[in-house]
Chains A and B, each alone.
Chain A
Amino acid sequence: MTVQPHAAPDDVILRAVQVGKVYPGTTALHGVDFAVRRGAVNVLLGENGAGKSTLMKILAGVEQPSSGQLFLDGREVRFASVNDAAAQGIGIIFQEMNLCPNLSVAENIFLRYPAVRFGIDIDRRQHIEAARALMRRLEHDIDPNALVGDLRIAQQQIVEIAKALAHDARILIMDEPTSALSATEVEILFRVIAELKSAGVAIVYISHRLEELVRIGDCVTVLRDGRLQATAEMADIDIPWLIAQMVGAMAEPAVPAPPRPDARDALRIGSVSLRNPHGGYFVDGVSLQLAAGEVVGLYGLLGAGRSELFEVLIGAQPDAEGSVVLDGEELAGLPIAARIRRGIALVPEDRQREGLVQCLSVSANLSLASLWRFLRGFAIDTAREHDAVLRAIRDLLIKVSSPNVEVTALSGGNQQKVVIGKALLTRPKVLLLDEPGRGIDVGAKAEVFRTMRHLAAEGLGVMFATSDLKEVMAVADRIVVMAGGRVTGDFPRARATEERLVAAANQGAAAAAGVAR
């Protein structure tokens, strides 16, 4: 069941033959074949660093292959740039968004090919009309004149999709389009995809959410370590098969250890609030406890205030109110560095923007938050620093040829491990992780969650935010639900059911929507 016979040649609009790509530090692709079928959702699946994003970038002209060929409609093609590929009908929606926050929705949509009057000035009215029509098609009520920077992430994603649709793409590549969307927004996206499919558009779809893939995919190509692992019709296979192909063996579900009956509170939060600029609250009177040795999952929809709560706890929001007591010591009013020294560490949600210093080495990134540990007088004791860095690389199984490699040479999952390693090198008592499984594959995710359980067993308090129900049910000892900036549910795992969590998460949803608009 691994390799299906090729689809009829006339069905294939774009074919990659033996495509390879080499980056500094990694070989992303070793001669991969990939066929994109017309009027179908072509799923591309693989762990982080398996080469999905690279293959997709080659198809869209963002990167040029180091070897191999591309055939569009049977003719060999070579894309010099994204514009070149777009001119031939290939559109792409990036995982990391490619919008200009300082321009309006309409301006972003028509950035590449603005409609002009008499070949000179931009036809603003036509832009706005066309943008409005696209938004109607996408069932979203986003003002074409609104600044993209003012939109929520989910709305920005819709604008990305509109941008690709505006250029009549025959092939539309979507890299994790649902990672920032709520359940209802995902439904709308799926309707749009179905509509595009029936219009004959070929969709290349990349996601880590397997249920999603099984639901909307027509055929699937699995990559592993930059090589083609398998291709199959989605109808013939199921989720365990997908996982097996991706990871190489059936991934065992992360089985949490029984929670320790440890009464000591590692972290006590008392009525923490943070105002938003619109007069409401990002975080609204949140009180909760985290015991040492406990893993708490902070579940909620996008905009529930989880990331903001974490920012308050680490000290990145100096205007916050309320008390944060770490191991019996009040943290409120302290700067970030002092809080880290006292034993709280944060793994931020967006590793590129908030987690890594791109121009520094893996080693310098790992030790950045814990330099005080390696001091000898005024200077850094590089030998001790080096030892600690090597230990972190080994403990977290970071795949890197040398700690002196620039951190950007690593794959996404390994970059995420560097961010986690940086937090762990501060020897925290409480570790906060914001969406630690976001954008990384099943294997790396399992590794990250195993590490979290392991740390809890060593006596750390671990709290992680997620919008993935399965994830929170599988990993957490206790699940706290947030909605609209408030805690709307607190369940020990034994009493948590998906229904209860969803109900609690939607309890303040109306309030949340009101705040966001």
Chain B
Amino acid sequence: MTGTASTTIASPARRRQTSPLLLLLSLRTLIALFVVLGFFSATAPNFLDIGTLVLLAKHVSINALLAIGMTFVVLTGGIDLSVGSIVGLAGMVAGGLIDRGVPLHFLHVTLFLDVPVVIAIAIAVGVLVGAINGLLVTWLSVAPFIATLGTLYVARGTALLISNGETFPNLVGRPQFHNTGFPILGAGTVLGVPVSVIALVVVGIVAAYLATRTPFGRRVYAVGGNERAALLSGVPVAKVKLAVYMISGACAAFAGLIVASELVASHPASGETFELNAIAATVLGGTSLVGGRGTIWGTVIGAFVIGILADGLVMLGVSSFWQMVIKGLVIIAAVVLDQLQRRMQRRMAIQAQAA
């Protein structure tokens, strides 16, 4: 018996028999990416211009950042509906700090903070909302859908309260207060690459490393796969869940800063329905909403597919109503193909076994 075990282990590669169709299916998100790229480069004029592509990548980076955070939450079997509101809230916090500063009444002065501090505070606010989500889900056993639906409203309301519904129209900052530089996040480039795209690459690499190579990542998958078994194996389930919502909050706040920086203004309603785009990118990338299955790379590619589709259709002049219909169909198709792949993999494994 030992013999069979060790000899078969020695050649795991031999077992990986794949059919061309299965290979196509397993790479479907990537293929979808090239299909939409190919389609729009053929039909939309100037689609492959550097300028267009850079703009596209900038658009995508916001949704991709949200979706990366969302992926961690979904991998544990949860969901985070509050990310869109965190986008708005983080933008308003940053906008308020830059535009109005912190009035210190007892000293009769107003404190204006440096931009890095402003950014850190805005992200901390996102982490805080995430922590509230996490505590609701773990300590108080509120279902993730409900907990984050609640914070969706609370965060959005808070964003509106900050300015009484007004927009902070100018986030350039004033040199005499040493708080200039905020627009770099949305408009700056390094060697021609937008800062937001670089941010996406960095966050993506860190997230993928976290998910695949660290005990934390392994525990995220285990919690989503079988929470009870994970608990009895010494996985600190509550801490893991708390952490994923905090990561999601941080990603959302970061995305909110980029949105505000691009517009050089912060509007309390920005980020509405962004949570749905993030969930769509996550699902399109092959992450199971039940938890336990999915990858960061899949999610990033999913975000690109959605982004290219949206921008390409705009360039073709397709009405926004049809855009919604098409986006919906693509999401459904992604999930259907995912099921198809599972079934085919099963059948292939069976055939390989029978042979």
A residues lining the B interface (CB < 8 Å): 22-27, 66, 314, 316, 335-337, 339-341, 346, 348, 353-360, 364, 367-369, 371-372, 375, 378-380, 382, 390, 393-394, 397-404, 409, 422, 426
Contacts and interface: CB of A to CB of B under 8 A. Distances in A.
B214 A380 contact: yes
Given A371-B215, A400-B5, A346 B232 contact: yes
A399 B218 contact: no
By size class, the interface of chain B is 35 or more
Contacts of A27: 353-354
Contact of B226 (A356, A375, A426): A356
Which 5 residue pairs spanning A and B have beta carbons closest together?
Answer: A24-B349, A357-B225, A402-B12, A337-B234, A369-B233
A399 B353 contact: no
A24 B350 contact: yes
Nearest to A381: B213
Contacts of A403: 9, 12
Given A353-B228, A360-B221, A368-B230, 18 more contacts: A22-B354, A26-B353, A316-B231, A336-B236, A340-B234, A346-B232, A356-B229, A357-B222, A357-B225, A357-B230, A358-B292, A359-B224, A378-B214, A394-B5, A397-B1, A399-B1, A401-B12, A403-B9
B229 A24 contact: no
Contacts of B350: 22-24, 66
B290 to A, nearest CB: 9
Instruction: Provide the main secondary structure of the chain A interface.
Output: mixed
A368 B222 contact: yes
B293 interface: yes
Nearest to A20: B354
A379 B6 CA distance: 27
A454 to B, nearest CB: 15
Contacts of B292: 357-360
Instruction: Provide the main secondary structure of the chain B interface.
Output: helix
B267 to A, nearest CB: 38
B236 A337 contact: yes
B300 to A, nearest CB: 21
A25 B15 CA distance: 10
Interface in B1-54: 1-2, 4-6, 8-9, 12, 15
Nearest to B292: A359
A85 B6 CA distance: 42
Nearest to A426: B234
A409 B234 CA distance: 24
B194 to A, nearest CB: 29
A314 B229 CA distance: 13
25 contacts: A23-B349, A27-B353, A66-B354, A335-B236, A337-B236, A341-B234, A354-B229, A355-B229, A356-B229, A357-B222, A357-B225, A357-B292, A359-B225, A360-B292, A369-B234, A371-B218, A372-B215, A378-B214, A379-B214, A380-B215, A382-B213, A394-B6, A400-B5, A401-B8, A422-B233
Contacts of B178: none
Contacts of B213: 379-380, 382
Given A357-B229, A380-B213, A22 B353 contact: yes
A402 B14 CA distance: 10
B135 interface: no
Contacts of A404: 12
A23 B350 CA distance: 5
B235 A337 contact: yes
Given A336-B231, A348-B232, A402-B15, A393 B226 contact: no
A265 to B, nearest CB: 23
Nearest to A348: B232
Interface in B220-261: 221-222, 224-226, 228-236
A25 B348 CA distance: 10
Most chain A CB inside 10 Å of its own CB: which residue of B4, B218, B232, B351: B232
Contact of A393 (B9, B214, B228): B9
B5 A399 contact: yes
A412 B38 CA distance: 48
A381 B8 CA distance: 23
A401 B15 contact: yes
A399 B2 CA distance: 8
A340 B292 CA distance: 23
A358 B288 CA distance: 14
Contacts of A360: 221-222, 225, 292
Contacts of A66: 350, 354
A355 B2 CA distance: 24
B262 to A, nearest CB: 33
Nearest to B227: A357
Contacts of A25: 349, 353
Nearest to A397: B1
Contacts of A353: 226, 228-229
A23 B354 CA distance: 9
Given A357-B230, A358-B226, A394-B5, A24 B218 contact: no
Contact of A402 (B8, B214, B230, B232): B8
